[in-house]
Amino acid sequence: MLVSTFFMATSCEKVIELELNDAEKKIVVEAVLKDTPGNNKILLSYTSAVYTDQNFNKISGAAVSVTDKDGNVFTFPEDPIIPGYYHNPSFTVLPDNDYTLNVNIDGEIITSTCHSYAKPTIDSIIWYPSPFAQASADTLYMIDYFSVDNVNEVNHYRLRIWLNSVEQTEFYYIGNDDFINGIAYNAPFFGADAHKGDTVLIEINALDKANYTYLYTLSSNESNSTAPANPTSNLKGNAIGYFGAFSTDTMSVIIH
């Protein structure tokens, strides 16, 4: 049974020229924490003007910390080499926990809270000739993953896939358990076809509803040809972006 909803971002070839006014500069927060040591990052930057080609200006010198539901405080110092990159190599997300992010940028405070869920599982991965590819000697293979939804939780998921260490980012693979609660299911990665000999790595993230909503509105904006709005953020303060603490599982196969 397929995951109930997978929302995928697609590109649009039509060029639309709009007269846009530069908006107020905002802080951009990308805070991703996971349940493996060192696999966490908090990136801070400022938005740039609409009609400039410059990259977002990184924010250095911020005070960044994360507090769990028991009051334990974990500091995230800035990397001495990479400006705007804050991390804690020993921090690990624990399941069924509540985390609060606190960012202080020259007295401007950004906060957010999120909940972590039980560890999801990838039971197996299969591949098969893509029915959408043209017949050729170089066969394209579609990838499916199999899992069992946790019956004790209301679950939201994000799936990520890498082919030969390159993440496939054309689409967002997200879904919920509205129609798969507590049962075994499988789902395909449309648009991430593999070749014989490719190494495939899949990661499943258990999200809280706020992070699911953020990714859903982000993917909807990117597939919308009209002027997009900022995706729904779980941050409080003059900031856009999101804060998530994810339980994860991964599995890797080689197509043969």
Domain residue extents for the chain: 27-117+227-247, 124-209+249-254
Q: Average pLDDT for residues 193-220, to the nearest whole number? A: 94
pLDDT average, residue stretch 4-27: 48
Question: What backbone torsions phi and psi does residue 217 show, to the nearest 5 degrees?
Answer: -70, -30
183: Cα separation from own chain's centroid? 24
- Is the predicted pLDDT of residue 226 greater than 80, yes or no? no
**Does residue 101 contact residue 33 with C-beta atoms inside 8 Å?**
no
User: Percent of the chain scored above 90 by pLDDT?
Assistant: 74
**Does residue 196 surpass a pLDDT of 80?**
yes
Task: Tell me if 27-117+227-247 shares its fold with 124-209+249-254.
Answer: yes
Q: Does 174 have pLDDT greater than 70? A: yes
Pairing mode, strands 173-176 and 156-163: antiparallel
Q: Which CATH number fits domain 124-209+249-254: 2.60.120, 2.40.160, 3.30.70, 2.60.40?
A: 2.60.40
Work out the pLDDT band at 85, boundaries 50, 70, 90: very high
Architecture of the domain whose range is 27-117+227-247 = Sandwich (2.60)
